[in-house]
Amino acid sequence: MADKTTTTNITGNPVLLGAIVLLVLLIAAFAGNFYLMGGGGSSLAGHAANLKVSAQGIAKHAAMVADGNVNLAAQLTAEQQNFENSLAALRNSSAGAGPAQGTISQIGSMWNELKGHISVIDGKKAALSAVQETIADININLQLLQQENNKIVRGMASDGTAAIEIVTAQRQALLLERMSHTIDKLIDRGSDPALEEQYQRDSESFMAVLRGLRNGDKSLVLTRITDASQLAILNRNASLFQSVDASAREIIAASADITRSEEHTSELQSPDHLVCRLLLEKKK
């Protein structure tokens, strides 16, 4: 994990973004043609055109923010405000009570639903930066832990420590590698109780062996290390792992957001969903 770069899609699921874009474009289609269904004069057509432009801007900026370009979040917010202003103008116009009333109402309903899904993207801005910083910290500390643990193993071998104890110390490296893979999977998949339990077991095992090397542990068949330089390394390892563990738990907490975004995706994909029905009707 220490030698690779991890990228994170803050939607947690690209299908969610696709559904958002489809929904925005569908709104744009309704808005752009609403005056053909009884919208009226040029001023109302202008509001409808502005609605369409704002919808297209939302689709563009939502895609870019979801890809990690959080600097465009302000533009996404501005486009949402422009959309709402144009929609309010249409609702308050004569068209809001005329033949196009049904279309305007439908656009409003779809927009209210869409805002909830866009907030899933918008709400990930801080999470993305935090996760990236956390991953960097974990990478550095895991690499240091591997290096320091190798020193412990070599020292034990030089001191003539029993083979069974050396093997137990060597397994620390395997635990670190497995925890690294578990954290990677949590970043990719989101909240997963099985992965979280796996990390918990491995972290507890790692700390139990570390304590056994420092203090001795009959159940683990470990004799207390007395060499001052080796003890100093073990103390550093304890401090490093505390940092790794704290960062990993931040990842676990953030992974719940990814799962919630996937729940939004499942809802959008439901055959009973309004958007799906409208898309199917549009294809006929």
Amino acid making up residue 237: N
Q: How far apart are CA 137 and CA 154, in angstroms?
A: 26
Q: What is the pLDDT of residues 145-167, one digit of tens each?
A: 999 999 999 999 999 999 999 99
DSSP conformation class of 86: H
Q: Pick the range with the lowest mean pLDDT from 53-57, 94-98, 272-276.
A: 272-276
Amino acid making up residue 180: S
Whether 59 and 25 have beta carbons less than 8 Å apart is answered as yes
Confirm whether pTM is higher than 0.95.
Answer: no
pLDDT at 50 over 70: yes
Q: How far apart are CA 280 and CA 138, in angstroms?
A: 47
Q: What is the pLDDT of residues 215-271, one digit of tens each?
A: 999 999 999 999 999 999 999 999 999 999 999 988 888 766 554 444 443 443 444
Most confident of 9-13, 96-100, 120-124, 137-141: 137-141
